[in-house]
Amino acid sequence: MGKERKIDMVILGLLSHERLSGYDIKKRIDGTISFFWKGSFGSIYPSLSAMEEEGLITSTNESINGRDKITYEITKAGKNKLKEWLKDTKATNDLKYETLLKVFFGGVGGKEITLNSIDSFETDIKRDLEILRCYQSNLSKALDNEDHMYYYLTVSFGVKSYEAYLEWCKEARELLSKK
Amino acid sequence: MGKERKIDMVILGLLSHERLSGYDIKKRIDGTISFFWKGSFGSIYPSLSAMEEEGLITSTNESINGRDKITYEITKAGKNKLKEWLKDTKATNDLKYETLLKVFFGGVGGKEITLNSIDSFETDIKRDLEILRCYQSNLSKALDNEDHMYYYLTVSFGVKSYEAYLEWCKEARELLSKK
DNA sequence: AGATTAATATATCAATTTGATATATTCTAC
DNA sequence: GTAGAATATATCAAATTGATATATTAATCT
């Protein structure tokens, strides 16, 4: 249904660190957390309007080099809402693995077709894992900085699970290749 | 946006094995693939209506023990659509880990609050991993059956990634507990 | 036996989110 | 100088969720 807009928490979290525009927020999401959470303009802009109405954030119109920009700042009420959400240990961790769906129904298409899907998945994961390992290596040198440490932990989650995915690809290929 | 109803493929895949009602489909999803794909009545029933209109499935009204039931069967056109989808190697694998979101913004709430979220996540994963291992153990004895083998592979994916999650929980706790 | 609860079964709704598209300006590269 | 990439905001239809409504049958309890 959508009683609680989760995108609100992403935005409040990002704004708790710095003043940002909708466009900036999209860039931050794509650049740092997109491997476990995505967000589109179609949810970001309406959320910003709604949260300003609710007094969780405030906006400022700026004009940088003639380019109009609306930047947002978190309010005390916004920080409280963010903290309340953090305190709540219940969390919905949802996955939609179309690759696994194709494997599950693999019998309909046959082994070769299923192997193609797995190969494609493996290629994507290998590429993304390399990027994550790069982040991990850099972040591990700055674990004394609190924010860097939390960022490191999410990246480490990505690395560990992607490594597990690759092991699975190997197992799957072995099982599907043998006669 | 939602150009391609992914739920259609789940339903077509399930119907390729057996004749099912909307309620049955929901049970199959919950019981076998829910750890990597979920589906709600709010998407299942409209999909069934639309796909019947499109000639991908046909319906039959049954009355079992006085209880009305509408069961669906896949058509040749439906099987073709399913096969076309299987042949396409591109797949969207989307995650929404609210737990990781809470870890990422952990600096706002502090170490103790973050640890609580991780502990709660770990408890859930441990419970689900036990169930998956049970499935895996049973399915591994029937790998000569093609359908069981594909099912086994998805379960194996779950086991491998959940094990990686637990390793991450351990690392996270160590990093957050010290000092 | 009677009553309550759980399970079966279908359907619909508002709210959320996605992915696409529209529009317009500024910066960069050839 | 102009084509294309990047910046910036906004809106829309379609898909999905989670809740709720409705009704019947099966199972459990006292």
**How far, in Å, CA of B65 to CA of B146, rounded?**
34
Cα B153–Cα B21–Cα A109 angle in degrees, nearest 5: 35
Q: pLDDT digit string (tens) for A5-33? A: 999 999 999 999 999 999 999 999 999 99
Which nucleotide's C1' atom has the smallest distance to the CA of B71? C9
Residue-level pLDDT, tens digit, chain B, 179 residues: 457 899 999 999 999 999 999 999 999 999 999 999 999 999 999 999 999 999 999 999 988 777 889 999 999 999 999 999 999 999 999 999 999 999 999 999 999 999 999 999 999 999 999 999 999 999 999 999 999 999 999 999 999 999 999 999 999 999 999 76
**Phi, psi for residue A159 in degrees, rounded to 5:** -60, -50
Q: Which two tokens stand for residue A75?
A: 């309010």
Q: What is the set of domains in chain A, with CATH numbers?
A: 6-87 (1.10.10.10), 98-177 (no CATH)
Which residue's CA lies closest to nucleotide D16 at its C1' atom? B43
Nearest by Cα to A153 from B163, B120, B165: B165
Question: Which strand (E) or helix (H) includes residue A43?
Answer: helix A41-53
pTM of the model: 0.95
**Amino acid A161 CA to nucleotide C29 C1' distance, rounded Å:** 40
**How far, in Å, CA of B98 to CA of A7, rounded?**
11
> Cβ separation of A103 and B147 shorter than 8 Å?
no
- Distance in Å, alpha carbon of B62 to nearest chain A alpha carbon: 27
**How far, in Å, CA of A154 to CA of A39, rounded?**
17
**How far, in Å, CA of B120 to CA of B108, rounded?**
19
Which residues in chain A touch residue B108, judged by CB atoms under 8 angstroms apart? Answer: 13, 16, 79, 82-83, 86
**How far, in Å, CA of B12 to CA of A104, rounded?**
12
